[in-house]
Amino acid sequence: MAPQKLKIAAAGLGRMGKRHALNFLNRTPRAELVAAFSPDPNELQWAKQHLEPYGVTLYSDYEQMLQHQDLQAVVIGTATSVHAEEAIKAMEKNLHVLCEKPLSTKLEVCKQVVAEAKKRPHLKVMCGFSRRFDASYRDARDKIDRGLIGRPAVVRSQTCDKHDPSGFFVEYAAWSGGVFVDMTIHDIDLTLWFFGDDVTLKSVSAYGVRAVQPDLAKHNDFDNAVGIVEFYNGKIAYYFCSRMMAHGQEDATEIIGTEGKLSVNANPQLNLVNHYHSGGITREVPPDYYGRFEMAFVQESNEFVASCLDNTPLPMKLTNAVKAVEIGSYLQEALVQGKQIRFDEAGRRIEAANL
Amino acid sequence: MAPQKLKIAAAGLGRMGKRHALNFLNRTPRAELVAAFSPDPNELQWAKQHLEPYGVTLYSDYEQMLQHQDLQAVVIGTATSVHAEEAIKAMEKNLHVLCEKPLSTKLEVCKQVVAEAKKRPHLKVMCGFSRRFDASYRDARDKIDRGLIGRPAVVRSQTCDKHDPSGFFVEYAAWSGGVFVDMTIHDIDLTLWFFGDDVTLKSVSAYGVRAVQPDLAKHNDFDNAVGIVEFYNGKIAYYFCSRMMAHGQEDATEIIGTEGKLSVNANPQLNLVNHYHSGGITREVPPDYYGRFEMAFVQESNEFVASCLDNTPLPMKLTNAVKAVEIGSYLQEALVQGKQIRFDEAGRRIEAANL
Amino acid sequence: MAPQKLKIAAAGLGRMGKRHALNFLNRTPRAELVAAFSPDPNELQWAKQHLEPYGVTLYSDYEQMLQHQDLQAVVIGTATSVHAEEAIKAMEKNLHVLCEKPLSTKLEVCKQVVAEAKKRPHLKVMCGFSRRFDASYRDARDKIDRGLIGRPAVVRSQTCDKHDPSGFFVEYAAWSGGVFVDMTIHDIDLTLWFFGDDVTLKSVSAYGVRAVQPDLAKHNDFDNAVGIVEFYNGKIAYYFCSRMMAHGQEDATEIIGTEGKLSVNANPQLNLVNHYHSGGITREVPPDYYGRFEMAFVQESNEFVASCLDNTPLPMKLTNAVKAVEIGSYLQEALVQGKQIRFDEAGRRIEAANL
Amino acid sequence: MAPQKLKIAAAGLGRMGKRHALNFLNRTPRAELVAAFSPDPNELQWAKQHLEPYGVTLYSDYEQMLQHQDLQAVVIGTATSVHAEEAIKAMEKNLHVLCEKPLSTKLEVCKQVVAEAKKRPHLKVMCGFSRRFDASYRDARDKIDRGLIGRPAVVRSQTCDKHDPSGFFVEYAAWSGGVFVDMTIHDIDLTLWFFGDDVTLKSVSAYGVRAVQPDLAKHNDFDNAVGIVEFYNGKIAYYFCSRMMAHGQEDATEIIGTEGKLSVNANPQLNLVNHYHSGGITREVPPDYYGRFEMAFVQESNEFVASCLDNTPLPMKLTNAVKAVEIGSYLQEALVQGKQIRFDEAGRRIEAANL
């Protein structure tokens, strides 16, 4: 008898939603993409051509899709604002959930999802942070575990996008949660991975500039920002995020330990080609995060499916995703207000009056 | 109605055969692996576990497999010595063929396969040279086509394996065709790709050493070899192959044009991690060619399938594969005899007496 | 008639003092090292062997040395605590002064030196920040001037020393002024160079850990520290300094502009050698700042001398050196107190009560 | 008493001659440049301004210069055609000699110089091969000596010049000795250094193209050439030289041993700057060999002087320089004739009739 495949549905067929759908259709051998949903007629049109012929039933209604026969799981790649609601609805239908990050830009909503998931321990509910599935980051983590750098004490991490001169990200800032929630959340998640998710916040500081998009002011956001997160017990992380890179996507991380250091992507590159010309030697850089992390998303799909089918632990905890949003929100608050935020050793925020 | 998938069978389930089978099973969406063959009980045992459950019928007889119902294509990953025979048998059954390189280490046998393929122009018959499907090599080719380096005049290319202290390759040398046929054939194929496959041989020279495996002498082979291939009309390629690398696989190429240069893999690396330690900064290197070219093999499977299903031209000509073997054989002959081999402008070998 | 050479004396023959003396003796063609001073008998012993035979008169008293016949200039490489006093004394003797950084770890003392220098505009008084004389940093500056990266908006810069397990730097912390004054001062100076020295401070934040030398607590210092300096008009600099590197000296800088980015030393290396071995590919790193900046110090000597002899402007302003100390001191204060420091647009510090 | 300085004269004040003169004047502390010679009035005019004011006596007659009072040594940087004659004349005046490479493009003339030097063992006579004084090549050599790569078996080395579109090198080819004697001689010298200068030639093969300067045909020379030199006892070197680089000077070497590999300059770079722009990330490359090897020339001057003053062995043997010319000449002959040249184990050339 053929081994069981996980019957999964894809919610949302926008840029990232399409990629998830195709990854589950074509590059996740133990999964079977049986359904897909989008509220957007254009996206459904695309699906008619690229999904339907391969046996995928299309829905313009999310809840209808959840009732697709024998459905076991949902991958949610819709707009962030509905992630949480859709995740909870799926759980209520007894479905496993892989949700694009973040669960929500609002901490309270994130926590709600976690609470719902806790009620159903037999369900696998994961919020995907793609870098945890990237071969280079995993190698770094493995080298840390093997003690190659001693005790990690400082993390430097950056998420830097190629500048989009269309200014799309100005409007996007209205609902993205701000640069630290939208971009740096990945760096925060990596920090929790490398430092351990039991670290306790001590202080948060952040500053930013609007160098190429002054209009971001209307959404209280910035196109370049720097932040420092201090943890109790001698650990510091510092972050840079930017939407202004001329050369492409540059997501880089350093983990600095008492006996050595690891860097990931200190030399960004699209591939293994160098072009030697009269101006020097040039290498290209991936134009966007998918160019850098495509295979990490494929890996994520496969590991999520394995965990569902084999009932093994998920590769990352849902609570981490919440903690990353929490720290990102503090950074964004510090950024907007230009003020340091501090915490006591129990992790309680210390109000300014008590500083 | 669901789009048609190419029903394909895998012949040979050794190291590379397994990979082909799994790639067609899991990473080639438009293909359906319906059958697999191996004469080896251990390999069949593996297939019982990894292929049969997914609907793949197993055969211990190649010809029986060819009769599998509705079969449309075969991927041949058996021992080199039977490639040609199996390819011809498949063609005789009206099947498309993707054959691991080389078709044969013997030029005459290669030409026979080409002749059989020519009789059946409706069949797609390809001998896979994985590097042609590698994203970096393709980028290099694309940059050449865009004129970025002017006219290519010199190619330097090397295929260097991590040293296998087991000495396996000593026995392997008995039937590999020699280092230039077994390894450098990839570099020759790249040369034909970058220079154009209409180049005419002018001379061939080669020299080698047995630095780590003196026993290679019994098969007239070497563990390190250097060769120069001169073409008419001002083009030169020079090659290095080695089975002695301490650090891993290092396959690198330079294409030097009248107005610029391209390098592929001048800085070998396993991934994007650098480890900073008391001895300096270290990066790792892929341990073998599959670590370097895995995704190229996946790409190859997908393009072969598309060509079969859509009846579009194959991404590379079968005659190239023969030409690569031909040049490789000359290099090997020059290597063993320590003598230059020359050709007239019609491509006819000039015998020593006439030099 | 032979062109005039600048008669210069070297004060201080410790580690860096020796290097200055030898650079002026051997690698500064337009200078003549005529005298040297040290209060330390061991250092004088060294000078007896390495300087005296070449016509350098030795002194154990600084003021006596200043009276050396026809002396025109002094290079000060003594302990930081006496830099300012010695510089002023030299000016009072009408001598040009090249002083090792910093003029003082105390801002008031720095300002005094500047005031004394202002009284004597015919004298060349420079506080050497070696990186301004480094070919790579100059190339970066030149590329900025040519508009290659648009308007610089963010600077990231780090000064990271190889870990000295002897713990010497614990004692050193008693009088170094702290890591931000001792190390990051170079990064601050670079920031002023790249942003323009007319930038106005907006806020300063800093955090640190004691990862390898807990004893630094007794001097209120840290072995790793991160700081952010915000300037008015949309400019941010962020810094990392560390005394914990396993691999060697790693001083790196990025200048991020609205249209591009420059990095200096993103790939640290001792030389052009790579070693390929069974663990991968390794390059070494300079063990200390002199290994990285030796030629910058030579360049500095030569440019200082040219400026004195030709009465041309010095390559950098003395006031910059003070501004770098000022910002470094604020960073150190923020670090020790764990509090943000803010400034109004006139550059006046805003006291906590008014925040 | 002041330590003795070596009184040295510079012969030839062309491009390289000027550099030697200035290096001995300014960057060789134990030397005193006392005289300089050029037959060229323009060069003497330059010297009037740049050397004479510093106490250097100028001569338009070489033999007169040799009679300069108390002269101890000569650095010869004239045209290659007079190197040997001038070197011998200097020896006859009992002077140490540092001669630019090559002693001569004619093997017989080289041998004459060696013979003259042998008669005067108290004189230091060196033919400078700058790469032996380069910090990176020395590090490579040191690592070989420490056994880090086992036994060296293969050397790959290239000397590649930036393309000079003026075509100057076409005329230069009339008397340069050809590309293998003019350029590859450095790579051959390195080979002798890494393999040991007692290696015995087994065969020489070479091929070339005229890709950018077809006019080189009139001097039987090429703008790109590849050669293989086989030695007895399992050692091979292969070379590439080119005058066609778009990006600048690229001189690179690999030493491949039984247990590891070393590369020197696998990643050419002008300095430590990377420029990130919309086309990718670019680093520049030195425009010429002096940009790459400037400090090696300074080192060479200093070591030559130390050897003369202290009567210690020279850092390299004069006979090596002859052997490099010899092998270079064979390569050039093989290149021009398109034929392999072979040698017996005693190093005697095997004539074609006996092949």
User: How far is the first Cα of chain D from the last one, in angstroms, to the nearest whole number?
Assistant: 66
D339 CB within 8 Å of a chain B CB: yes
Chain C positions in Cβ-Cβ contact with residue B160 (cut-off 8 Å)? none
Query: Does the structure show a pLDDT above 70 at D22?
Result: yes
* Alpha helices per DSSP H over chain C: 15-26, 41-50, 62-66, 80-92, 107-119, 135-145, 168-172, 179-182, 185-195, 289-310, 318-337
Query: What's the mean pLDDT in C194-220?
Result: 96
Give me C127's structure tokens.
Answer: 């506080």
Q: What is the pLDDT confidence band of residue A1, given thresholds at 50, 70 and 90?
A: low
Side-by-side strand order, sheet with D57-59: D57-59, D31-37, D6-11, D73-76, D96-100, D125-128
- Interchain contact, B264 vs A273, CB within 8 Å: yes
State the pairing for strand pair C235-245/C224-231.
Answer: antiparallel
* Alpha-carbon gap: D334 to the closest alpha carbon of chain A (Å): 30
Chain C residues 144-203 with CB within 8 Å of chain D: 148-149
Residue A18, Cα to own-chain centre: how many angstroms? 16
C-alpha closest to that of C242 among A155, A318, B167, A352:
A155
Chain A residues 136-155 with CB within 8 Å of chain B: 136, 139-140, 143, 148-149
- Interchain contact, A244 vs C153, CB within 8 Å: yes
Please give the angle made by the CA atoms of B325, B328 and B331, to the nearest 5 degrees. 155
Determine the Cα–Cα distance for residues A228 and A201; give it in Å rounded to an integer. 11
Determine the Cα–Cα distance for residues C312 and C308; give it in Å rounded to an integer. 7
Decide if D8 contacts D305 (C-beta within 8 A).
yes
Same domain, D83 and D169: no
pTM above 0.90, yes or no: yes
State the pairing for strand pair C73-76/C280-283.
Answer: unpaired
Q: What is the pLDDT confidence band of residue B1, given thresholds at 50, 70 and 90?
A: low
DSSP C136: H
Query: What's the mean pLDDT in D118-141?
Result: 96
What confidence score (pLDDT) does residue B352 get? 61
Instruction: Count the neighbouring beta carbons within 10 Å of the beta carbon of residue B218.
Output: 11
C27 CB within 8 Å of a chain D CB: yes
Domain C-terminal end among C128, C145, C180? C128
State the pairing for strand pair B31-37/B6-11.
Answer: parallel
Same domain, C38 and C143: no
How confident is the prediction for chain A on average, in pLDDT? 95
* Alpha-carbon gap: A267 to the closest alpha carbon of chain D (Å): 9
B354 CB within 8 Å of a chain D CB: no
What confidence score (pLDDT) does residue B167 get? 80
Chain A: touching chains (3 or more CB pairs < 8 Å):
B, C, D
C-alpha closest to that of B70 among B44, B35, B30, B98:
B35
Determine the Cα–Cα distance for residues A248 and A239; give it in Å rounded to an integer. 18
| Amino acid (one-letter) located at A65 | M
- In angstroms, the Cα distances linking C124 to C10, C65, C95, C119, C196 are 16, 19, 8, 12, 22
Compare D233 and C128 and report the one with higher pLDDT: D233
Three-state DSSP at A132 gives helix
Looking at the DSSP bridge assignments, the partners of residue D155 are: D237, D255
Decide if C249 contacts C268 (C-beta within 8 A).
yes
| Amino acid (one-letter) located at D279 | G
Is A257 within a domain? yes
What confidence score (pLDDT) does residue C169 get? 84
Q: Which residues contact D168 (CB under 8 A, 6 or more apart)?
A: none
Chain C positions in Cβ-Cβ contact with residue B266 (cut-off 8 Å)? none
Instruction: Evaluate whether ipTM surpasses 0.85.
Output: yes
Is D79 within a domain? yes
Q: What is the pLDDT confidence band of residue D339, given thresholds at 50, 70 and 90?
A: confident
C-alpha closest to that of B104 among B96, B115, B93:
B115
Query: Does the structure show a pLDDT above 60 at D353?
Result: no
Decide if D108 contacts D320 (C-beta within 8 A).
no
* Alpha helices per DSSP H over A134-287: 135-145, 168-172, 179-182, 185-195
3-state secondary structure chain B: CCCCCEEEEEECCCHHHHHHHHHHHHCCCCEEEEEEECCCHHHHHHHHHHCHHHCCEEECCHHHHHCCCCCCEEEECCCHHHHHHHHHHHHHCCCEEEEECCCCCCHHHHHHHHHHHHHCCCCCEEEECHHHHCHHHHHHHHHHHCCCCCCEEEEEEEEEEECCCCCHHHHHCCCCCCHHHHCCHHHHHHHHHHHCCCCCEEEEEEEEECCCCHHHHHHCCCCEEEEEEEECCCEEEEEEEEEEECCCCCCEEEEEECCCEEEECCCCCCCCEEEEECCEEEECCCCCHHHHHHHHHHHHHHHHHHHHHHCCCCCCCHHHHHHHHHHHHHHHHHHHHCCCEEECCCCCEECHHHC
Determine the Cα–Cα distance for residues D341 and D351; give it in Å rounded to an integer. 8
Structural domain for B27, as ranges: 6-128
C51 CB within 8 Å of a chain A CB: no
* Alpha-carbon gap: A202 to the closest alpha carbon of chain B (Å): 28
Q: What sign does the dihedral C14-C16-C21-C27 (CA atoms) show?
A: positive
DSSP C315: S
- Interchain contact, A154 vs C240, CB within 8 Å: yes
Determine the Cα–Cα distance for residues C84 and C62; give it in Å rounded to an integer. 13
Decide if C340 contacts A340 (C-beta within 8 A).
yes
How confident is the prediction for chain D on average, in pLDDT? 95
Side-by-side strand order, sheet with A31-37: A57-59, A31-37, A6-11, A73-76, A96-100, A125-128
Query: Does the structure show a pLDDT above 90 at A109?
Result: yes
Domain C-terminal end among B128, B155, B185? B128
Determine the Cα–Cα distance for residues A340 and A333; give it in Å rounded to an integer. 9
Same domain, A209 and A346: yes
* Alpha-carbon gap: A48 to the closest alpha carbon of chain B (Å): 12
What confidence score (pLDDT) does residue C351 get? 73
Task: Provide φ and ψ at B240, rounded to 5°.
Answer: -135, 135
CATH code of the domain containing C276? 3.30.360.10
Beta strands in chain A (DSSP E): 6-11, 31-37, 57-59, 73-76, 96-100, 125-128, 152-162, 201-209, 224-231, 235-245, 252-257, 260-264, 273-277, 280-283, 341-343, 349-350
Same domain, B110 and B163: no
Is B300 within a domain? no
Same domain, B163 and B228: yes
Is A305 within a domain? no
Instruction: Count the neighbouring beta carbons within 10 Å of the beta carbon of residue C214.
Output: 12
DSSP D13: -
Q: What sign does the dihedral C37-C39-C43-C45 (CA atoms) show?
A: positive
Residue-wise pLDDT for B77-127, tens only, equals 999 999 999 999 999 999 999 999 999 999 999 999 999 999 999 999 999
Same domain, A116 and A149: no
Query: What's the mean pLDDT in B241-249?
Result: 97
Same domain, A138 and A274: yes
C307 CB within 8 Å of a chain A CB: no
Same domain, A181 and A116: no
The total of structural domains in chain B comes to 2
Interface probe with D: pick from A273, A282, A283, A284, most Cβ of D within 10 Å: A282
Determine the Cα–Cα distance for residues B318 and D245; give it in Å rounded to an integer. 34
Three-state DSSP at C88 gives helix
Is C1 within a domain? no
Residue-wise pLDDT for A221-238, tens only, equals 999 999 999 999 999 999
Query: What's the mean pLDDT in D159-177?
Result: 91
CATH code of the domain containing B50? 3.40.50.720
**What is the share, in percent, of chain D residues with pLDDT greater than 70?**
99
Cis peptide, bond prior to residue D102, ω within 30 of zero: yes
User: How does A73-95 read in b/e, with b if 16+ C-beta sit within 10 Å?
Assistant: bbbbbbebebbbbbbbbbbeeeb
Q: What sign does the dihedral A142-B161-B250-D259 (CA atoms) show?
A: positive
Query: Does the structure show a pLDDT above 80 at D354?
Result: no
- Interchain contact, D205 vs B205, CB within 8 Å: yes
Query: What's the mean pLDDT in D128-152?
Result: 97
Residue-wise pLDDT for A37-83, tens only, equals 999 999 999 999 999 999 999 999 999 999 999 999 999 999 999 99
DSSP C331: H
Q: What is the pLDDT confidence band of residue C139, given thresholds at 50, 70 and 90?
A: very high
Query: Does the structure show a pLDDT above 90 at C3?
Result: no
Chain D: touching chains (3 or more CB pairs < 8 Å):
A, B, C
Decide if C272 contacts D264 (C-beta within 8 A).
yes
Same domain, B49 and B146: no
Q: Which residues contact D324 (CB under 8 A, 6 or more apart)?
A: D101, D102, D129, D185, D188, D189, D192
Determine the Cα–Cα distance for residues A18 and A34; give it in Å rounded to an integer. 14
What confidence score (pLDDT) does residue A175 get? 86
Is C305 within a domain? no
Task: Provide φ and ψ at C153, rounded to 5°.
Answer: -120, -30
Same domain, D39 and D182: no
Same domain, C344 and C275: yes
- Interchain contact, A1 vs B53, CB within 8 Å: yes
Query: What's the mean pLDDT in A285-291?
Result: 97
What confidence score (pLDDT) does residue D262 get? 98
Same domain, A81 and A171: no
Q: Which residues contact C6 (CB under 8 A, 6 or more apart)?
A: C30, C31, C32, C72, C73, C96, C305, C308, C309
Three-state DSSP at A18 gives helix
Is C319 within a domain? no
- In angstroms, the Cα distances linking A313 to A135, A193, C276 are 20, 16, 39
User: How does A242-271 read in b/e, with b if 16+ C-beta sit within 10 Å?
Assistant: bbbbbbbbbbbbbbbbbebbbbbbbbbbbb
Is B318 within a domain? no
Task: Provide φ and ψ at D158, rounded to 5°.
Answer: -140, 145
Chain B residues 235-294 with CB within 8 Å of chain C: 245-248, 250, 268-270, 276-285
| Closest alpha carbon within chain C to D28 | C26
Domain C-terminal end among B76, B103, B128? B128
